[in-house]
Amino acid sequence: MPAVYCPECGGEMFFDPPAKSYVCRSCGVLYSRERLAEAREKQFSVADDEKAQAKRKRREVLKWWLSDKTRES
Ligand SMILES: [Zn+2]
């Protein structure tokens, strides 16, 4: 079974058969398999969004830098 990491703190989680859930070794949070999958999906989409934002920001800086250059010359 691949290692599962806690969406809250990033700690390693183990499967608790009586609870039918994953439990975090670090913070003790309890996630069902479904909720864990949901949380991970959300995490990935947030990361994608941040990446897109960083890209936009870089483009804006480049535009500003270029426009500044043309103004100087
Ligand atoms: Zn945790």
The pTM assigned to this predicted structure is: 0.56
Nearest Cα neighbor of 22 from 8, 43, 6, 10 is 6
Please check whether residue 16 lies inside any domain of the structure. yes
CA of 50 to the centre of ligand 1 (A): 22
Question: Mean per-residue pLDDT for 22-43?
Answer: 91
73 in a domain, yes or no? no
- CA distances for 5 relative to 30, 51, 64, 65, angstroms: 12, 22, 41, 41
Q: Answer yes or no: is 48 within a domain.
A: yes
Average pLDDT value over all residues in the chain? 87
Q: How many whole angstroms from 57 Cα to the centroid of ligand 1? A: 32
For residue 5, report the distance from its CA to the centre of ligand 1, in Å: 8
- Confirm whether 27 is domain-assigned: yes
Whole-number Å distance between alpha carbons of 36 and 34: 5
Please give the helix or strand (H or E) that residue 70 lies within, else none. helix 33-72
Total domains in the fold of the chain: 1
Task: Answer yes or no: is 45 within a domain.
Answer: yes
Which amino acid, residue 53? Q
Q: Which residues surround ligand 1, an ion (CB under 5 A)?
A: 6, 8-9, 11, 24, 26-27, 29
Range of the domain at 26: 4-68
pLDDT value of residue 48? 80
64 has a pLDDT exceeding 80: yes
pLDDT at 63 over 80: yes
Say yes or no to pLDDT of 21 above 70.
yes
